[in-house]
Amino acid sequence: MSDLHYIVRTPKITIENPPLLILLHGYGSNEEDLFSFAEELPEELLIVSPQAPLSMGFGSYAWYTINFDEINGKFSDLKEAKESVDKIALFVDVIKKKYNTDADQTFLLGFSQGAILSYSLSFFYPNKIQHVIALSGYINTELLPENISSEIKTDYYCSHGTVDQVLPIAWARNSKPFLEALKLNTEYSEYNVGHGVAPQNFYSFKKWITARLLPVKN
């Protein structure tokens, strides 16, 4: 049983097995952050936004700790990160069962730290997720299995701000060649913003999601 707190937007139309979109917020945020997208996304989606497990106080949460020291600079707690990947994978299963979602229509949208974990989960749990939307994140190769399955069918939408001051765009630019080397369908775009989501970025990934929704079965 998953212990992640979450909020839900149910489909605006009646569907027996709705497609599922899970939102993973970034470091220092909470489940309300990306949920602001929900009202503008396709009406057939069941949209679920979990809260990360690590409290930072004052309504801020993290999926894993980011440490700072004078010798190593900034570095991630990879043990916590992998634990969160496993928690999210379990959460996906719980939500699929509870809401009887379409098993072949699961989207995972992550921002920043949430995007890093979205990539990671798609490799540790092949095909649990069909579609990944990774906003302002990158593929952390230290958070990948030793052997990547050749059976993965997941496709990826990746975007990043050209003036991102938190996660350098050079890191994000590695994502597309990495995924394409694995013969995975990938769309990559850049926007003239910092560590955030520009309006045109929102409409771009909304279009990408809509194009992947199967015809509604009432």
CB atoms within 10 A of CB 87: 18
Check: CB of residue 96 under 8 Å from CB of residue 103.
yes
pLDDT digits (tens, 9 = 90+) for 179-216: 999 999 999 999 999 999 999 999 999 999 999 997 65
Residue in this structure with the two tokens 């995007």, named with its chain if needed: 115
Q: What is the pLDDT of residues 50-59, one digit of tens each?
A: 999 999 999 9
Going by their DSSP bridges, the two strands 54-57 and 60-62 should be labelled as antiparallel
Q: What is the pTM of this model?
A: 0.94
Domains located in the chain, CATH noted: 6-212 (3.40.50.1820)
Amino acid 116: pLDDT: 97
State the chain's maximal CA–CA distance in angstroms: 58
